[in-house]
């Protein structure tokens, strides 16, 4: 058995009886040219494009990457989690994959003689995958927020994992793409939050090795370059873990893309200094991709968004959200600013379920959101506006107390866009079965939603944004 950390959240597992590719993002960028691999993953191994099996943890494009999937052998058997709504299977069919299997929560599947997997769903559209070959167990948590009783199930089913692969840096626009009238509105999530989560999950699962994962990217679009200063580096995580008192019997092993492991030889790290002078390296990478950025800028310059399209889209969203939910979470208007419009403040009044064009934002606005018009037009056309928040190509100003509504807006529009709303979509056996299988998570979620302290509703909303759209 051998596994290779290809890059970001992409893992390749080889055994005598088959190969498994997880979350293939192998080329290009995501987030309207915002996110890029860093360190670069280098030359592609042709074997990565012809796996026997593929597993996709969720449909966010840094895991479910359309350009990469188009390059894979469509004869591969593809596995995805079976959520309450059918999120990924239709998209895979359009890409030409004829053998797609949805795995129920906790269901174990023997892919080949020495390769077994199980899917553990969490949240509306995310999963962790457990992979077993012989005595080796990999708990690929990636950027899934699984915790509590749901994480207990992994240990109960598999015992102490050999490896835990886990995200360690932030992947949403809040708080680094935000300003606020009240600084307290920016304090919900800090630089340490994802590192703290890495430590807590590692201590919970108690793997033999904990590998920092699903966070090695650079922001190379001109609008997002300044955000690299906030990205957590592997060295920073090492210092944080040491200062936090370590991980007990778990060994922390940072790896660069291209590194691998075998039972016989242990870790085979890819060598290279990507961190000593990271800014110079980022300059080199930005120069290398400049032609792509130029083409993206030209493409976006041709995209405009008319008010009626915007209004129809968000009024449909407002109608899909039940009134009690709108009243509790979206009680103040959310405003998009489009400078090209004579009345640039396009205001969504959720309680009235209408969208207005205004010369100035209303006094009771919760937030003012600025997204490049070409990006917003593309996002609406493809029903992926929730990806814009994680693309980092967004700037939001929070009015006092606006955090709750802003985070609820992005969370609820994701739920609507992937098909959970309106509620009548969930009145079926599939949804009920998924909910029952995930009753541990439901119990913990109810406790968090009713909590006023750490782990409550705001923290959950802030930590569960979607990554950016595919390119």
Name the residue ranges covered by the structural domains of the chain. Answer: 2-292, 307-462
297/471: higher pLDDT: 297
Would you call 45 exposed, middle or buried from its count of C-beta atoms within 10 A (0-12, 13-18, 19+)? middle
Q: Where residue 451 falls among pLDDT bands split at 50, 70, 90?
A: low
Q: Where residue 454 falls among pLDDT bands split at 50, 70, 90?
A: very low
Q: What is the pLDDT of residue 450?
A: 63
What average pLDDT does range 356-376 have in this prediction?
98
SS3 track for the chain: CEEEEEECCEEEEEECCEEEEECCCCCCEECCCCEEECCCCCCCCHHHHCCCEEEECCCCCCCCCHHHHHHCCCCCEEEEECCCCCCCHHHHHHCCCCCEEEECCCCEEEEECCEEEEEEEECCCEEEEEEEECCEEEEEEECCCCCHHHHHHHHHHHCCCCEEEECCCCCCCCCCCEEECCHHHHCCCCCCHHHHHHHHHHHHHCCCEEEECCCCEEECCCCCHHHHHHCCCHHHHHHHHHHCCCCCCCEECCCCCCEEEECCCEEECCCCCCCCCHHHHHHHHHHHCHHHHHHHHHHHHCCCCCHHHHHHHHHHHHHHCCHHHHHHHCCCCEEEECCCCCCCEEEEECCCCEEEEECCCCCCCCEEEECCHHHHHHHHHCCCHHHHHHHCCCEEEECCCCHHHHHHHHHHHHHHHCCCCCHHHHCCHHHHHHHHHCHHHHHHHHHHHCCCCCCCHHHHHHCCCCCCCEC
Q: What is the pLDDT of residue 455?
A: 43
Q: What is the pLDDT of residue 447?
A: 75
Q: What is the pLDDT of residue 446?
A: 78
Q: What is the pLDDT of residue 468?
A: 53
Q: How many Å apart are CA 165 and CA 249, to the nearest integer? A: 16
Would you call 46 exposed, middle or buried from its count of C-beta atoms within 10 A (0-12, 13-18, 19+)? exposed
Q: Which two tokens stand for residue 171?
A: 């992947």
Q: What is the pLDDT of residues 5-34, one digit of tens each?
A: 999 999 999 999 999 999 999 999 999 999
Range name among 176-190, 354-368, 434-448 with the lowest pLDDT average: 434-448
In the predicted structure, residue 161 carries a pLDDT above the cut 50: yes
Proportion of the chain above pLDDT 70, given as a percent: 95
Q: Where residue 319 falls among pLDDT bands split at 50, 70, 90?
A: very high
Identify the CATH assignment for 307-462 out of 3.30.413.10, 3.30.1050.10, 3.90.79.10, 3.40.50.620. Answer: 3.30.1050.10
What average pLDDT does range 98-122 have in this prediction?
98
In the predicted structure, residue 221 carries a pLDDT above the cut 80: yes
350/447: higher pLDDT: 350
Range name among 71-80, 333-342, 450-459 with the lowest pLDDT average: 450-459
In the predicted structure, residue 270 carries a pLDDT above the cut 60: yes
In the predicted structure, residue 470 carries a pLDDT above the cut 80: no
Mean per-residue pLDDT over the chain, rounded: 94
Q: What is the pLDDT of residues 411-444, one digit of tens each?
A: 999 999 999 999 999 999 999 999 999 999 988 8
Q: What is the pLDDT of residue 449?
A: 66
- Same topology, domains 2-292 and 307-462? Answer is no
Instruction: Give the CATH class of 2-292.
Output: alpha beta
Q: What is the pLDDT of residue 272?
A: 84
In the predicted structure, residue 285 carries a pLDDT above the cut 50: yes
Q: Where residue 271 falls among pLDDT bands split at 50, 70, 90?
A: confident
């Amino acid at each position: 058995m051998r596994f290779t950390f290809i890059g970001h959240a992409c893992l390749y597992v080889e055994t005598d009886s088959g190969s498994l590719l997880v979350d293939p993002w192998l080329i290009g960028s995501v987030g309207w040219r915002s996110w890029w691999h860093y360190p670069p993953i280098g030359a592609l191994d042709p074997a990565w494009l012809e796996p026997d099996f593929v597993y996709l943890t969720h449909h966010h494009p840094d895991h479910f990457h359309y350009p990469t999937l188009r390059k894979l052998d469509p004869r591969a058997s593809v596995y995805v989690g079976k959520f309450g709504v059918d999120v990924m299977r239709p998209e895979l069919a359009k890409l030409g994959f004829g053998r797609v299997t949805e795995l129920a929560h906790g269901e174990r599947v023997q892919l080949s003689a020495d390769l077994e997997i199980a899917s553990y769903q969490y949240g509306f559209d995310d999963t962790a995958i457990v992979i077993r070959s012989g005595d080796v167990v990999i708990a690929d948590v990636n950027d899934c927020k699984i915790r509590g009783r749901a994480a207990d199930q992994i240990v109960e089913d598999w015992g102490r994992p050999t490896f835990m692969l886990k995200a360690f840096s932030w992947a949403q626009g809040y708080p680094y793409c935000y300003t606020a009238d009240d600084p307290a509105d920016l304090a919900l999530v800090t630089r340490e939050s994802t590192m703290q989560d890495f430590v807590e999950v590692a201590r919970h699962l108690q793997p033999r090795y904990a590998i920092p994962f699903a966070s090695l990217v650079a922001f190379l679009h001109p609008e997002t370059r300044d955000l690299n200063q906030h990205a957590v580096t592997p060295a920073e995580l090492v210092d944080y873990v040491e200062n936090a008192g370590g991980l007990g019997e778990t060994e922390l092993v940072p790896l660069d893309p291209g590194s691998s492991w075998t039972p016989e030889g242990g870790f085979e790290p890819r060598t290279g200094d990507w961190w000593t002078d990271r800014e110079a390296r980022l300059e080199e990478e930005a120069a290398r991709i400049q032609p792509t950025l130029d083409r993206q800028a030209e493409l976006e310059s041709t995209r405009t968004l008319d008010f009626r399209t915007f209004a129809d889209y968000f009024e449909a969203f407002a109608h899909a959200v039940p009134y009690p939910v709108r009243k509790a979470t979206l009680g103040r208007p959310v405003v998009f600013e489009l400078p090209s419009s004579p009345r640039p403040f396009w205001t969504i009044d959720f309680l009235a379920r209408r969208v207005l064009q205004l010369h100035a934002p209303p006094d009771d606005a919760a937030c003012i959101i600025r997204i490049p018009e070409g990006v917003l037009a593309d996002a609406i056309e493809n029903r992926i506006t929730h990806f814009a928040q994680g693309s980092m190509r967004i700037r939001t100003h929070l009015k006092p107390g606006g955090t709750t509504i802003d985070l609820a807006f992005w969370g609820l529009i994701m739920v609507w866009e992937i098909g959970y709303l309106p509620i009548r979509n969930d009145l079926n056996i599939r949804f009920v079965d998924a909910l029952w299988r995930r009753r541990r998570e439901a119990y913990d979620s109810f406790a968090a939603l009713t909590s006023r302290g750490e782990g409550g509703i705001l923290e959950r909303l802030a930590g569960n944004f979607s990554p950016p759209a595919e390119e």
